[in-house]
Chain A
Amino acid sequence: GAGVSQSPSNKVTEKGKDVELRCDPISGHTALYWYRQSLGQGLEFLIYFQGNSAPDKSGLPSDRFSAERTGGSVSTLTIQRTQQEDSAVYLCASSSRTGGSQPQHFGDGTRLSIL
């Protein structure tokens, strides 16, 4: 498809388990972002990738969260030893260039539920 693709769309797991969330950005987009959206809330910035540069991890809430982006395209967000407060929708976005007014295009997110 032409848009940002995220998988799985829904994930239910037990507390303490690790989870991996995947994001396929729009082809050719060099910038990739991860956000978290709790119920009824706005989006919370987590991490940003731009090309081969070191990612900006300033938004990651704890060291249980990590992300990587292989080959400058697909990205995986990993949450280790999940906690109930990790339950949220995790959104990925990509943009074509950095700087200036480059709108971010979002996927439909992964709804993560921790039991």
Chain B
Amino acid sequence: GESVGLHLPTLSVQEGDNSIINCAYSNSASDYFIWYKQESGKGPQFIIDIRSNMDKRQGQRVTVLLNKTVKHLSLQIAATQPGDSAVYFCAENKILTGGGNKLTFGTGTQLKVEL
């Protein structure tokens, strides 16, 4: 079956350090993957996505790496800031019959930035 899971439920980093959040998936049929950030009491906020035909994509202070061989996805945050504290979800996208996208989310990783 399909599943998206995370290696660590909580990650604590010092302000200014780089953060790496990992995600494992089992469904190789997915066409792309998305990282979301969710702050307390808020809805998930899109960070970055990557298509299955890519292995790396960079955004502002964030980089997503995709290793299809071992079905592993990671989110790297450079120079982590207190505002980065949140729960991070990876999500696996599946195209629905009607053409829409169904996201399957992992449990999430709580990132805590220590001053």
Contacts and interface: CB of A to CB of B under 8 A. Distances in A.
Contacts of A54: 98
Interface in A38-74: 40-45, 48, 50, 53-54, 56, 59
A85 B98 CA distance: 30
B43 A107 contact: yes
Interface in B31-57: 31-32, 34, 36, 41-46, 49, 51
Interface residues of A, number: 31
Contact of A56 (B4, B43, B45, B100): B100
A75 B75 CA distance: 33
A98 B100 contact: yes
Interface string A75-115: 00000000000000001010100111111111111000000
B96 A104 contact: no
A66 to B, nearest CB: 18
Contacts of A109: 43
Contacts of B105: 42-44
B99 interface: yes
B28 to A, nearest CB: 17
Contact of A42 (B43, B51, B106): B106
Given A108-B41, A108-B42, A41 B107 contact: yes
B89 interface: yes
A102 B43 contact: no
B75 to A, nearest CB: 15
A4 interface: yes
A21 interface: no
B81 interface: no
A31 interface: yes
Contacts of A44: 105
Contact of B103 (A40, A56, A99, A104): A104
A37 B81 CA distance: 26
Interface of A: 4, 31, 33, 35, 40-45, 48, 50, 53-54, 56, 59, 91, 93, 95, 98-109
